[in-house]
Amino acid sequence: MFRAARPFIFRLDAERAHWLTVHALANAPWAAGWAADPVDDPVTLMGLRFRNRVGLAAGMDKDGIALEGWQRLGFGFAEIGTVTPRAQPGNPKPRIFRDVGSEAIINRLGFNNGGVDACVQRVARHRAKGMLVGINIGRNKDTSPEQAVDDYRYGFEAVYPVADYITINISSPNTPGLRDLQAEAALDGLLGALADTRARLADAKSVHRPVLLKIAPDLDDAGIRSAAAIALKHGIDGFIATNTTIARPPGLSAKVSGEAGGLSGPPLAEKARHVLRTLRAECGTSVPLIGVGGIDSPEAAKARIADGADLLQLYTGLVYHGPGLVSRLARAVSTS
């Protein structure tokens, strides 16, 4: 079905196609027919039982409007967001660009979302449905660097009751100054504040939520190791490797490569794999790692597991290869 529909989908503006797809999944039970048989290959990490190792990456469904749809497509888990304390429109359009020849995407969406409180209400309604949901949090664009910790603390407190895990996003290239939070002193301050917040919430609500840190692919090895050490010091449970890259590897079309924003898809894969391997070497075998970035085939999925990933996430591969990719990858890395 996707193969027949793809030429028509790709004639649409990339952002319009994106949101039409998400809304179709949110409102059309027949969308289950887009997927192959869902794969049950349970894996337990961070005290959570994932249906299989393949999840939806943050950015595809920022507001969590299609959670039942992602579950029907066979995902083992879904990460929604990035959500911010206050709703915001994001950056001016156009802001998503396909590079069909390399099966890549450049986006500069800029955390467009309806705000964390509306997102929490949707996730709360989904909680009894069975699929694990992580929520990815960030700061508002107009929040000053000095107040960034307050935004993260607000988001953390808001999602804590309903998220199965929480991801701290300090690595998007599309919010000015956000990646500055990866610097040692800033990261230490932010994660220290959130560790205190989690301890208070865990005591008050009698539940411990796992917390992950999403790493940029553009950090050098020293930066990766420093971020890992600081995160582990503050009790971060795992890492997502990686966000999109500001690099422009060879092979992109001239028209698309000149666009500002974060690059995803196969041209990101080698950078993402390097960060993943560096994190695994730094953290040992006990820290959960999620691999994301250019995973678009069973062979790529197996390679990322071999690099040290415990779980995988998809976004751009889903755009180019359709929902059947979910089950193909989950079956490829199944341990059963």
Q: Do residues 294 and 269 make contact, with C-beta atoms less than 8 angstroms apart?
A: yes
Return all residues near 125 (Cβ < 8 A) that are at least 6 apart.
Answer: none
Residue at token pair 């060879």 = 250
Catalytic residue among 102, 171, 172, 257: 172
Rounded distance between C-alpha atoms, residue 13 and residue 194, angstroms: 39
Q: Do residues 275 and 17 make contact, with C-beta atoms less than 8 angstroms apart?
A: no
Q: Do residues 70 and 89 make contact, with C-beta atoms less than 8 angstroms apart?
A: no
Residue at token pair 């205190």 = 196
Q: Do residues 100 and 157 make contact, with C-beta atoms less than 8 angstroms apart?
A: no
Tell me whether residue 172 is one of the annotated catalytic residues: yes
Rounded distance between C-alpha atoms, residue 227 and residue 186, angstroms: 11
The closest of 313, 303, 311, 270 to 287, measured between CA atoms, is 311
Rounded distance between C-alpha atoms, residue 56 and residue 60, angstroms: 8
Q: What is the CA radius of gyration of the chain?
A: 18
Quickly list H helices, 234-313: 254-257, 269-283, 298-307
Rounded distance between C-alpha atoms, residue 34 and residue 322, angstroms: 8
Paired residues of 99 in beta bridges: 104
Active site residues: 172
